[in-house]
Amino acid sequence: MGEEFYSIIKLISGEEIFSLVTIDENDGDPVIVLQNPIIMQMFQNGHGAHIKVKPWIELSEDDIFLVTSDKIITMTESKDNKLIEIYNNFISEDNKMEIHTPNGLVHPSSKMGYISTVNDARKYLEEIYNITQDKKES
């Protein structure tokens, strides 16, 4: 097996993936070994540019995949520290999907915890409403 490096890969299917890559050249035909491949999609909204991150194959429990070179249009080594940091954070936290801003901030997710659940908030607001209604009637 060859040396590991971070790479952006464009597949013939049109997918662009980011992964830690090793190239295995057994029997003359190179096989690309992808470790925890992810899809990073750039999008813009009123708050700026963001990166949506999700696993390349979402339903698999495996984290290593083999791709033959005939399925790849192009690949390039990435030394972009921000992309590598986002990748490493994503795979270490075992998140299903995250959205990152260019400055590295992560938008809150349900895994980060909320102040209350919808049902708890509804009960609290109904209690406040009922108290104000009782005061008006008095």
The CATH number assigned to the domain holding 65 equals 2.30.30.100
> Would you say the pTM of this structure is higher than 0.75?
no
Q: Is residue 132 part of a domain?
A: no
138 pLDDT exceeds 80?
no
Cα(89)–Cα(92) distance, rounded to whole angstroms? 5
Going 35 to 41 to 42 to 43, the CA torsion angle's sign is: negative
7 pLDDT exceeds 60?
yes
Residue 31: how many other CB atoms lie within 10 Å:
15
Lookup result for tokens 């790479």: 7
Domain count, the chain: 1
Cα(57)–Cα(60) distance, rounded to whole angstroms? 6
Residue numbers of the domain that contains 48: 5-109
Q: Is residue 23 part of a domain?
A: yes
The identity of residue 63, as a single letter, is D
Four-point Cα dihedral 32, 33, 35, 41, nearest 10: 20
What pLDDT does residue 16 have? Answer: 93
